[in-house]
Chains A and B, each alone.
Chain A
Amino acid sequence: MQRNRERLDRICLARSNSIKKYRGNNSNMDNMILMQNVWKAYPNGVMALNGVDLSVKKGEFVYVVGPSGAGKSTFIKMIYRELKPTRGKIFVNNKNIANLKNRQVPYLRRKIGVVFQDFKLLPKLTVYENVAFALEVIEEHPSQIKKRVMEVLDLVGLKHKLRSFPDQLSGGEQQRVSIARSICNRPPVLIADEPTGNLDPETSWQIMDVFRRINEQGTTVVMATHNKDIVNHIRHRVIALEGGMVVRDEQEGEYGYEA
C-alpha cells in the first residue's frame, strides 16, 4: 500500500513537471482557471486530488467527468474556495486563491457563479426574490438589482414566473432560477456541479441551452457531470478525473464511460 502510494507520487510529480515545462512557454494571461500541481488530502486521510495540473481558458466550455469518488466535487469546491488545497497553486482570473485570506473569499465568490444539483433556492422567497437575494447580500444598489434580475430572468426564460415560489415550479424551472441567480452578478466564470443530476433528459437539454447562451456571452463554464448523452452530443472539451488525477483531457471529447 505504502509502496504503491510512493510510486504514484513519483509518477505524478514527473508528469506535473513535464506539464509545467510546457506551460512555461504559454502566456498565462488568457487563463480563467489555472491549477498547478494541486493536491488535496482530507483529514481522514483520503487523497481526493493527486497533483492536478490544468488550465481553462477564458470563454471555454469544459466538462469534468469521471466515476463517483474521482475527485470531481473536490475539484469544483476548490475553485470557489469551499476547500483549500493541501498543496499547489490555483489561479482564478490570474489570482492565486490557494493562499487567499478568509476575509478575501467573499470577493472571490462574487466573481464566480455556482450552480448545484439541488438548486439551493430559498422556499419562502419568490423567483424574483431568490435572484435578487444574491445581489442584496453583496449590497448592490436597489435600482441595479431590479434591472439586472429582470435581465437574467429573461435570459433563462422565466420572466413570466417571477412571482411564483420555488415549489410551484418544475425541477428544470427551479434550476433555471438557480442559474439566473448565479450569473446575476456577471461573474466571468460559472461553475456547475451536476446541474442536470436531478432532471429528466428533456429538461436537461433546456438547461444545456441556457448554459450555451451564457457561454456565448463570454462566460467561462466548468460543468461536472455524469450525463453521457449531453457530453457526447454537445461536444466541448472533456477533462476526465480518476483517482484524483487528470487521466484524459480532449477538445470535443467523449464521455468515455458506460452510463
Chain B
Amino acid sequence: MMSRKGNTVMKLRTMNRHLRESFRSLTRNGWMSFASISAVTVSLVLVAMFLIVMFNLNKIAGDVENDVEVKVYLDQSTTAAQQNQLEERLKGIADVQSVSFVSRKEGLNSLLDSLGTDSNQFQDLQRENPLPNAFVLKTNQPEQTIQVASEARNLPNVADVRYGKGTVERLFKFVNIMRNVGIVLILGLLFTSVFLIANTIKLTIVARRREIEIMKLCGATNAFVRWPYFIEGLLMGILGSLIPVTLVIVVYHFAYYNLSSNLSQMFIRLIPFQTMVTNLSLLLVGIGALIGVWGSVSSVRKFLKI
C-alpha cells in the first residue's frame, strides 16, 4: 500500500521519535543516567589501565619469546668430524626448529657490534678470541627452550648451554598469571557495570512501565518499544567511555614519551603511541556501548511480556 519512498520516510520519522524519546529519558532521569554513566566510566578506567599494562607486557613477552634461543658452546678441542656429528644430533632433538653454526669469529663480531661503534677498545679481544664455536638452536615454541636446553647439555663435546634461563621462565609465569587474573578482573568489572546499568534503568522503567503496557496494547511491536532503550543504553555507554579514552591518551602519552627512553636502555620497546591509543580507544568505546546496550535492553525484556 505504502510506496517504497514513503516507507523510508516513515522509518526516518520513527527513528527521529526514538532519538527524541531516548534523549528525553536521559535528561528526565538525570541523576540515574549520571549514576549509570559513572558506573561505566569507573569500570572502563580500570579496564583501560589494566589493558595498557597487559598489551605492553604481551608485546614485551612476545619480543623476548622471539629472541629466545639456545646457545650450545663447544669444547675447544672438538674436531670437525665431532662437530658435524653433534650438529646432526642437535637437529635430532624434538622441537628443534633450526640449528645454525656460529664460529668463534662471527660470535665475536656480533658481540662487538652489539656493544656499539667503540669496538676499537676491544682490539685485544680480536687478537686473542676467548669465545668458543657455538650452535644456535631455535625451538618451535618458546616454552620448549628449557627442555631442548637440558637435552643438548647431555650431548658429547658440549662445553656449556645457555639460554635466558631464569628470565624466560619467570617471564612466562608472570605473563600467564597476569593474563588470567586480568581476564577474570575485566569480566568481573564489565558484568558489574552491566548489572549497575540494568538496575538503574530498571528503576526508571518502573515509571515508564505503564507507557510500555499501553504501547503494547495499542499494537506497538517489541522492536518499536525497545528502540529508545537501545539508543539510551548506547548513549550512556559511549558517554561513559569518554573519560577513560581521554585518560588513556594522557597516561599513555606520558608513559610513552617519558618512560620509554629509560626502558629502551633495558632493551624494552613499548607499543607505539598512535597504535595503542587508536586501538584502545576504539575498544573502550565499543565495550562501553556494548555494556550500555546490554544493560538497557535486558532491563526492558521483562516488561514486554504483555
Contact = CB atoms under 8 A, between A and B. Distances in A.
B294 to A, nearest CB: 22
Of listed B10, B220, B225, residue having the most chain A CB within 10 A: B220
Contacts of B222: 102-103, 106
B231 to A, nearest CB: 16
Contacts of A114: 217
A201 interface: no
A181 interface: yes
Interface string B206-220: 000011011111111
Interface of B: 10, 13-14, 17, 210-211, 213-222, 224-225, 306
Interface string A35-61: 000000000000000000000000000
A106 B219 contact: yes
B229 to A, nearest CB: 14
Of listed A103, A134, A139, residue having the most chain B CB within 10 A:
A139
Given A122-B211, A141-B10, A109 B224 contact: no
Contacts of A138: 218-220
Contacts of A229: none
A185 interface: yes
Given A108-B219, A138-B220, 18 more contacts: A102-B222, A103-B221, A103-B222, A106-B220, A106-B221, A106-B222, A109-B219, A110-B219, A120-B213, A120-B214, A122-B214, A134-B218, A136-B17, A137-B224, A137-B225, A139-B224, A141-B10, A181-B218
Contacts of B225: 137
A116 B67 CA distance: 76
The main secondary structure of chain B at its interface with chain A is helix
A109 B10 contact: no
A137 B219 contact: yes
Ranked 9 nearest A-B pairs via Cβ: A110-B219, A109-B219, A137-B220, A134-B218, A106-B221, A106-B219, A137-B215, A138-B219, A137-B218
Contacts of A108: 219
Interface string A83-116: 0000000000000000000110011111000100
Interface string A180-202: 01000100000000000000000
A34 to B, nearest CB: 21
Contacts of A80: 217
A82 interface: yes
A142 interface: yes
Nearest to A137: B220
Interface of A: 80, 82, 102-103, 106-110, 114, 120, 122, 133-134, 136-139, 141-142, 181, 185
A232 to B, nearest CB: 30
A254 B210 CA distance: 36
17 contacts: A80-B217, A82-B306, A102-B222, A106-B222, A107-B219, A108-B219, A120-B213, A120-B214, A120-B217, A122-B211, A122-B214, A137-B220, A138-B219, A139-B10, A139-B13, A139-B224, A142-B13
Contacts of B210: 120, 122
Contacts of A103: 221-222
A96 B43 CA distance: 50
Given A139-B14, A141-B10, A109 B217 contact: yes
A134 B224 CA distance: 13
Contacts of A109: 216-219
Contact of B214 (A107, A133, A142, A185): A133
Contacts of A134: 214, 218
B29 to A, nearest CB: 14
